[in-house]
Structure 1
Amino acid sequence: MISDGQKIKALSNTPLFAGWDEVYLKDIADMVGIDSYQKGDIIFKQDTRGDRFYIIVEGNVIILSPEDNSVLAEFVSGEMFGETAMLTQEEQKAIASANENSIILSFPKDGIPMEDVFKDNPVTYAQLLKSFLVMVSRRTRKANSLIKENSPIMQELQKQVYGDKLTGLLNKAYLEENIADFMKSSFSLIMMKPDNFKAINDTYGHEKGDACLTFIGNHLSHFLDTDSVLIRYQGNEFAVLTPDQGRDGAASLAEKIKAALENLDISPVVNSPFKLSMSLGVLLYPDTKIEKTEFIKQCSEMPLIGRARGGSKILFEEDINE
């Protein structure tokens, strides 16, 4: 029987886990199965559910065509196989067989659904998924096209990469990494900050300030139309991106957001009467003279301009240089 230390060593010798801290490797090792195969043993057959991937500790594995048993691929010690079916949540399309006596790790081991793996230690498994996608993308150059958007793996990865830990909303990385895709068509971007949020932190403390941000995010989530994308951009700044929205629609939405937040009763959070003052910046794409690379940065700065002009302002692009 291979020990946990041997599992950790075997994991660290693979490209997938190279450079990982031993603390995280131990988490992975706890979920790893270990099996010995004799030459000719079948590891998985065609149509086997793709619910795990495999790493060869010792030995050699060949992938065979189910039609004529011809060799499609060969993997040696330290290499990984079986991951494509796991990522796509599909059945295996070929046969894996030990080409010599082999010791093979499988993750996750029998009886552990991938969804439960995430719940037990989300930080470790988020790191695993990121490493996984980097490795697969290097191999295939089309990793994203292999992954079903609604698969549990992809959903969890998106949550870890693009989810704001405080509010549960989408985060800054989501907006910055996806803005190019949104720019393939028209949209409005509204970014907003409370003019007087510093008073909340100074008076009631940063813990209450964080609670207010979550409260604001929840209120906006229920208030906004389903077409709009709500983002906690950074600090106390939120963003709302709405596809296919022109100036009139954006102006109307900005007014509604401003009114909703300035009338929002946050006394249940701070245990004292307090009213927000909101400044918002609105940019329209493609109806803008701002460079694409500066689009988000410029919009993010507009609420600060509004606050400097007395607060409780809605500014469009033409208002910036007044």
Structure 2
Amino acid sequence: MQTKSKLLLFVALMLLGLGIATIINISLNFREYSIKSATQKATMAAAIVKDGLTAHMVNGIMDKRGYFLNQISSNNDKIKNLWIVRSDKVIEQYGDGFNSETVRDDIDKEVLKTGKTVQKITESTENSMLRITIPYKATVNNGPNCLSCHNVNRGDTLGAVSMEFDITNMRNAGMFTILKILALNLVFIIVVLFLINYYITPYMKLFSNMQKGIRKAYKGDFSHEFTTSVKGDAKNIIDQLNTLFRKMQETFGDIKYNLATFIPQGCVSSTDPLQEAKTIIGELSDIYKFKKTIEHDPTKEVVYQRVVDVLCNKYELSHFAFYEIDTLKATRKLIYISHGKSVCKDEVDADASLCRAHRTNTTVISSEFVNLCRECNCEGLEYICIPFTINDENSLVLSITAKDRNELNKINAFVKSIENYLEAAKPVIESKILMSKLRDTSLRDAMTGLYNRRFLEEFIDTFASQAKRENTTYSVMMLDVDFFKKVNDTYGHDIGDKVIAKIGEVLHNSIRESDLAIRYGGEEFVVLLHNATDEGTQKIASKIHSEFAKLTFDVGNGKTIQKTMSIGIAKFPRDGDSIWKCIKYADTALYVAKTTGRNKIVEYTPEMLEDEHLR
């Protein structure tokens, strides 16, 4: 309602100003009119005096002029005083005249000297007087010839007629008129203000009601009902607004809560729900783009790098580490660290249960308690560790460090948003893990758990190229169980399968992580020893040979059997410029071992290809 008060005050001031300007203008005009009217009467009186004196002079009765002058003054109540004065030339010719005809003041002197009319107004609180003195000049036309009686020149001032007019009544009448005008103006202002107030109040109530509704809408509440007593277009607008707000309430009223289905509450903080909704939609858009991008990435490692890019570029994290946890094995592997060393102790990698965030499956914030995570080495730093479960077998942990509490609080503000990205990545990562497992399954032998021949065929060229690039060597071993067909024929394939499975265990326990063991087919196995020396190769081959020979297999009826194996060895690139050639040469050495007695380890020599007795 302040707007209405301001408007009424503004209109009142404008009308009052207009009234004052009108009164001032009327006052000035009325004063000017009063003075002009009195001056006209004085001019007429002066003309009468002039004509009368001229007639007296022509008729020779100038000594009777006093009566004539008194009659003019007494017959006009406005003329308070009237007298005439003679100029020096007339006095010189005819004498001083009556006592009343002498110069009385400076105005008389000025008029006699200049020959110009002079008027002066004298005002007091009680009355207002107009003094006017009009010169009487010598003329020769349009009347008597003054030069015939006076020793003067044409246009000389013969004398002056002075009068004092009482214009108090005119002034009072003017003041009364002004007061009436002022009263009329005040009445007019009051009426105008009343009418304005009467007609504008419904509109001001309408505006106030609209403002209230807009304030509620700004907070996301569109339930306001607009009302007005105004008819016509304003009523139509209100009806349209009510219809619009009802639709907005239906469509937008619950949008914040619907969006919370995708973005958990608390990840966006704003007092303006519209701005909050805009931010949430922007967040959803970014996450959608992120998800569509990672869906086309080939492996989980590439997806992890996408997550790292988001953490670096969007959230500008200065120091963080990203871990993958094998829940079944309770081991942790570092995927990425921005720089420096991890703030976690080394033993956590071997035993992931030591990680508080992973163990409790809750976000760990260092500010919540002194030395909250015992496995964290970060003196002078604050930290936030965010766990995230992918499936029953895999989890992630994001460990973020901060310099102080202020930076920690800033990071904590967008933890929920980071979790949204991880949540979006979860099905993709899980899918990549599953695809990796399926692929790994297709490349592994189900009975032994070792890689199969398909794996060797797909990746052997990659190994060879890398080996040449890095000057890497491989010792290639070909293994075969002696008289394995007899086992299947005598005891059945289930016993044969047990033998094959035990070979897988022996190989797995005998070689290093950098080495490869492959079931080549049937009872044949290939082992690639990475950068092994001749001595190391012989040592591993002997271990495999002896460990297998120690095994006993229950064949039923209380009987057991033991089996031996033959091993052929070739060296890459010493014996062949490709690993495939070396596999062939190792197979040749294995054949030599078979044909020369079995149960032995034989290294390939070029002579084996030349001597038919060795093949």
Q: Using structure 2 for the length normalisation, give the TM-score.
A: 0.30
**Structure 1: gaps (5+ residues):** 1-40, 54-62, 64-80, 95-112, 117-146
Residues 175 and 259 (structure 1 numbering): CA distance in 2 closer, same or farther, change over 3 Å?
A: same
SS at match of 1:160: helix
Q: Which amino acid aligns with 1:170?
A: Y
Q: Distance in 1 between matches of 2:505 and 2:498?
A: 11
Return the offset for 1:223: 3.0
2:489 corresponds, among 190, 202, 206, to 202
Q: How does 1:90-169 map to 2 (within 5 A)?
A: 152-153=433-434, 155-169=436-450
Name the counterpart of 1:225. 512
- Residue-by-residue CA offset, 1:227-271 (whole Å, 9 max, x unaligned): 322211111111221111122211221112111111222237896
* Matched residue SS, 1:242: strand
CA contact (8 A) 1:50 1:89 kept: no
- In 1, the alpha carbon distance for the partners of 2:493 and 2:588 equals 23
Q: Which of the residues 213, 226, 229 maps onto 2:500?
A: 213
User: Are 1:89 and 2:303 matched, yes or no?
Assistant: yes
Paired position in structure 2 for 1:20: none
Equivalent in 269, 285, 298 of residue 45 of structure 1: 285
**SS across alignment from 2:519:** strand
Query: Given residue 287 of structure 1, which amino acid in structure 2 is its aligned partner?
Result: R
Please give the alpha-carbon distance, in whole angstroms, between the structure 2 residues aligned to 1:315 and 1:270: 36
Report the AA paired with residue 597 of structure 2: G
- Residue 174 of structure 1 corresponds to 455
Cα 1:176–1:298 change in 2 (3 A) is: farther
Shift of 1:161: 3.0
Aligned to 1:285: 572
Q: Residue 223 of structure 1 aligns to which amino acid in structure 2?
A: S
SS at structure 1 position matched to 2:513: coil
Q: CA 1:304 to 1:269, structure 2 compared with 1: closer, same or farther past 3 Å? A: farther
Q: Is this contact kept in 2: 1:50–1:85, CA < 8 A?
A: no
Contact 1:187-1:246 at 8 Å conserved across structures? no
SS at match of 2:532: coil
Which structure 2 residue ranges, 5 or more long, are not aligned?
A: 1-280, 311-388, 393-427
The DSSP-based 3-state class of the residue aligned with 2:561 is coil
Q: Percent identity?
A: 25
Superimposed CA distance per residue, residues 64-97 of structure 1 (whole angstroms, 9 cap, x where no aligned partner): xxxxxxxxxxxxxxxxx94238863356999xxx
2:526 to 215, 225, 239: 239
Asked if the contact 1:195–1:276 (Cα under 8 Å) also holds between the matched residues in 2, the reply is: yes
**Distance in structure 1 (CA, Å) of the matches to 2:290 and 2:435:** 15
CA distance 1:316–1:220, shift in 2 (3 Å): same
**Is the CA contact (8 Å cut-off) linking 1:191 and 1:239 kept in structure 2?**
yes
The residue number in structure 2 matching 1:311 is 598
Q: Please, what is the CA RMSD of the aligned residues?
A: 3.7
Q: Distance in 2 between matches of 1:199 and 1:305?
A: 20
| Match status 1:258 vs 2:562 | no
Matched positions, count: 205
| 1:186 positional shift | 0.7
Listed one character per residue, the Cα deviations across residues 41-85 of structure 1 (whole Å, up to 9, x for unaligned) are: 99x73234966x7xxxxxxxxx9xxxxxxxxxxxxxxxxx94238
Aligned partners of 1:156 and 1:188: how far apart in 2? 28
Pair 153,296 (structure 1): closer, same or farther in 2 beyond 3 Å: same
Letter in 2 for 1:176: E
Q: Is the 8 A contact 1:230 1:240 kept in 2?
A: yes
Match of 1:16 in 2: none
Relative to structure 1, is the Cα distance of residues 271 and 199 closer, same or farther in structure 2, using a 3 angstrom cutoff?
farther
Contact 1:189–1:284 (Cα < 8 Å) also in 2: yes
Shift of 1:222: 2.2
Question: Structure 1 CA distance, aligned partners of 2:533 and 2:446?
Answer: 32
Kept after mapping to 2: 8 A contact 1:188/1:284: yes
Q: Considering only CA atoms, is the larger Rg found in Structure 1 or Structure 2?
A: 2
Deviation (angstroms), 1:199: 1.5
Shift of 1:197: 0.9
Look up the match of 1:274.
Answer: 561
Q: Secondary structure at the match of 2:286?
A: coil
1:49–1:194 CA distance, 2 compared to 1 (3 A): farther
Structure number with the bigger relative contact order (C-alpha 8 A, sep ≥ 6) is: 1
Determine which structure has the larger helix proportion and give its number: 2
CA distance in 1, matches of 2:518, 2:548: 16
Letter in 1 for 2:494: E
Deviation at 1:313, TM superposition (A): 2.0
1:195-250 per-position Cα deviation (integer Å, ceiling 9, x unaligned): 12112101111122112211221232123333322211111111221111122211
1:151 CA displacement: 5.3
